[in-house]
Amino acid sequence: MREREIERKLKNEVEKAGGLCLKFTSPGFDGVPDRIMLFPKGKITFIELKAPGEKPRPLQTARIQKLRDYGFRVEIIDSKEQIRELVMEIKGEDGGEKKDGV
């Protein structure tokens, strides 16, 4: 499975759940995460996508840590199986919707 397939699945799942999944590029500032997930009520998560088993490069790791230091949520996804659970967790973070339906 390729990173591109995981990225396509992420975008589709986020949009199905009512969010936006924007491609993130930052000219002159390499190593930023691939996507930004946006949900209502200001829920923002940066997503670094990898092919299965791959790890972020050192520069990517530094950028991820910087974003986390600023208080942002950053997730690394390397499989399609991680996507649905993550999307539902983030969408329901305000306490209104719980993962187990309770």
Question: What mean pLDDT is reported for the chain?
Answer: 90
Question: For 10-30, how does the pLDDT look when each residue is reduced to its tens digit (9 = 90+)?
Answer: 999 999 999 999 999 999 999
Q: Residue 34 has what DSSP assignment?
A: S
| 97 band by pLDDT with thresholds 50, 70 and 90 | very low
CA-wise closest residue to 23 among 42, 5, 48: 48
* Other CB atoms within 10 Å distance of the CB of residue 101: 5
Mean local confidence (pLDDT), 86-100: 66
**What strands, in cross-sheet order, belong to the sheet with 35-39?**
20-23, 35-39, 43-49, 73-77
Question: For 29-77, how does the pLDDT look when each residue is reduced to its tens digit (9 = 90+)?
Answer: 999 999 999 999 999 999 999 999 999 999 999 999 999 999 999 999 9
Whole-model pTM: value is 0.85
- Map out the domains of the chain as residue ranges: 3-91
CATH architecture of 3-91: 3-Layer(aba) Sandwich (3.40)
